[in-house]
Structure formats: structure tokens, C-alpha cells
Amino acid sequence: MAKSLCKWKKKDIEKNIHELIHIVDKPRFICKDCARSAHDKGFLCKPIKLK
């Protein structure tokens, strides 16, 4: 899926649950706007590194 996790809607989550599991496994970044987390900053709109 090309769009950032921050823009996923409920239907995107339902259709891509296996991809989502991979994206959020062992998160290292969080979006400072919506608080979603991911292991790679490329999946988020405004990522900040978790400490």
C-alpha cells in the first residue's frame, strides 16, 4: 500500500491486516499528529523516533 499508515481508513485496515501487522511490529517511530506507530518512519506522515 503506497499511502502512509496515518491516512489508512477502517476499510484499508480490514483489507491489509497482514501488512499492518508487519508495519507495527516492534515500533521505533510514532506520528506526532495521530500517534500511530510503525517500525519504519516511511510509513508515517510526521514521524519522531521513540526513545
pLDDT for the residue 1: 58
pLDDT for the residue 40: 95
For the stretch 1-51, pLDDT in tens is 568 999 999 999 999 999 999 999 999 999 999 999 999 999 999 999 998
Question: In the chain, where are the structural domains located?
Answer: 5-49
| DSSP per-residue codes, the chain | --S-GGG--HHHHHHTHHHHHHHHSS--EEETTT--EESSGGGSSSEEE--
This prediction's pTM: 0.83
